[in-house]
Amino acid sequence: MHQKTIVEMAAGLRAGEFSSEELTRSCLQRIETHDAQLNSVITLTAEAALAAAQAADARLKTGDATPLTGIPYLHKDIFCTEGVRTSCGSRMLDNFEAPYDATVTARLKQAGAVMLGKTNMDEFAMGSSNETSFYGAVKNPWDTERVPGGSSGGSAAAVAARLAPLATGTDTGGSIRQPAALCGITGIKPTYGRVSRYGMIAFASSLDQAGPLATSAQDAAYMLEAMSGFDPRDSTSIDQPVESYAQSLEQDLRGLTIGLPREYFSEGLDAQVGAAVEAAIEEYRKLGAEVKEISLPNTALAVPAYYVVAPAECSSNLSRMDGVRFGYRCEDPKDLEDLYTRSRGEGFGAEVKRRILIGTYALSAGYYDAYYLKAQQVRRLIRDDFVQAFKDVDIIMGPTSPNTAFRLGERADDPVTMYLSDIYTIAVNLAGLPGMSIPAGMVDGLPVGLQLIGDYFAEGRLLNAAHRFQQVTDWHTRMPAGFE
C-alpha cells in the first residue's frame, strides 16, 4: 500500500478498496518499523491520527471529500499544531505545546488529510544537513551514514522511505529543495506569499515559505493547492486566487523555453552530478522544449547576501525565546540577567547561536549600513537578474545541489563549506520566486536533483514541466533498499 501515489490512494478510498484507518495504520506501522534507522519523526500522534482517519472515512461515505481526504501526511515540527509539541528541533521549545493551529495545519485538516506526527528538522530550520537538531541527526534512507539534507530532512527522509506519502517542509534558502534532491523525491517552494506563514515559527521572515514534499509532482500539486491561499492573519500573504495545479499537469511542453544559467554549470559542480542534470535536460529537448544558455551574473553574491539577511532576521525573531514567556527556562537563576543568559545559552544549539551573533553584529549601529543594508541592495540585483532572464525564458533549470548527499559529520566543523551546499537554491529565496527539485538521476547509488525555477506565481508551470518529465522517466519511483 505504501508504494501507491496519493492519486491511487484517493481512488482506492473512494472505491472502498481500503479505508483511511487502514491506510493510516499501515503508515504508523512503517514508522514504528523503520524510523529507528532514520530518526525522521520527533512526535508520533497515533491516537489523534486514527481518530482523524475515522472522521475521514465518515466524510468519504457522504461524498463530501477533497483529493486529500483520508490521506496520511507528516508535518514538519515548525508548524504550530494545537495540543501537540511543536519543538522546531530545539531544546528551547522541547516542552512547548502550541495553543492553536498554523494556517497550513488548519488547511490540511480542513481538506481531510490525516496528520501522523511531526518530523525532525535542523534547529529552528538553521542547517543544510539536519545535523543541528536537539533530537539528533536524521539519516538518509539511501545510505544511513549520509545526511538527508536540511532543514526539512526529516520530512524528506520519511517520504523517500515511504513512511508517509506526503510531508510538509519549509524553505528559507533551499530547505525543501536540497533535501528533496539528496533523498530522491519531489519538493516545491512556492512564490513568497503564496502559502501563509501564520503559525509557522519564523527563522527569516522575508525568506521563509512552506511547501510540500512528495514522491511525484502530481502528488505535490494536490498538496500545494490545499496549502495555498490568502490569509488575512499573515501580512505577507498575497491575495491572489489559487489555480488548480493538478488540472494543468498534462499541458504539452512544445514551445517551452528553458534557460540554463552558465553560472550553475561552472566550478564547484561535481562532474557526475552535472552529467546527470544534462541528461535530464536532454529529456526536455525530446519533449519539445527549447533550451538556451542564459546568465545570472550576480549568482556568486547570493550566499554572502543570504548569510547577512537571514541571520539578521533570525536574531530579531529569536529574541522572544528568553525563558520568560514560553520555552526552556534554566534552573535556579540568580537574577533576571542570569535567567536570560543561561536560558538562551542552554536552550539554543551551536549553529543557532552562531547565526544570532552574526545577525546581531550585522544589525548593530556601527555596521547596519555596511552589512545589512548592502546585502539588501545586492538582493535587489539578484532579483533583477531573474526578472531579466524571464523576459527570454519560461523556466530556468540546473542542479539543485552541487554534490550528492555527504557523510554525517563530514562538514560539521566547516560552516562555510556547509553553507555552500545551498549555492544554487539561495538566490530563489532572495528573489521570492518559486522553485522545485525533482529526481533526475543517480550517482554511485545516491540521488541527484534537477532544480526548476519559475517566474512569480508560476507554480503550475513548474509542476507541469516536472510531471511531464516524470511521465517519461522513473527516477521518482525508485526506492532505497531496505524500505521497499
Q: Assign 3-class secondary structure to 325-387.
A: CCCCCCCCCCCHHHHHHHHHHHHCCHHHHHHHHHHHHHHCCCCHHHHHHHHHHHHHHHHHHHH
Percent of the chain with pLDDT over 70: 100
Question: Above 90 in pLDDT, residue 413?
Answer: no
Instruction: Please confirm, yes or no, whether 205 is among the known catalytic residues.
Output: no
Tens digit of pLDDT for each residue in 254-271? 999 999 999 999 888 999
Q: Is the CATH number of domain 1-484 3.90.1300.10?
A: yes
Model pLDDT, residue 24: 98
Instruction: Please confirm, yes or no, whether 76 is among the known catalytic residues.
Output: yes
Instruction: Please confirm, yes or no, whether 151 is among the known catalytic residues.
Output: yes
Evaluate the CA torsion angle 240, 253, 282, 159 in order and state its sign. Answer: positive
Per DSSP, 262 falls in state G
Model pLDDT, residue 326: 82
Model pLDDT, residue 194: 98
Q: Report H helices in 217-323.
A: 217-227, 271-286, 302-317
Quick check: pTM over 0.85?
Answer: yes
Average pLDDT over residues 237-264: 95
- Stretch among 17-31, 153-167, 355-369 having the lowest mean pLDDT: 355-369
Q: Could you tell me which residues come within 8 angstroms of residue 479 by beta carbon, excluding any fewer than 6 positions away?
A: 3, 160, 161, 162
Percent of the chain with pLDDT over 90: 94
The torsion angle over the Cα atoms of residues 292, 248, 186 and 2, rounded to 10 degrees, is -150
Pick the catalytic residue from 133, 151, 196, 421: 151
Pick the catalytic residue from 175, 216, 315, 401: 175
Pick the catalytic residue from 19, 20, 76, 401: 76
Distance (Å) of CA 138 to CA 26, 297, 418: 22, 35, 16
Q: Please state, in angstroms and rounded to a whole number, the distance separating the CA atoms of residues 210 and 226.
A: 12
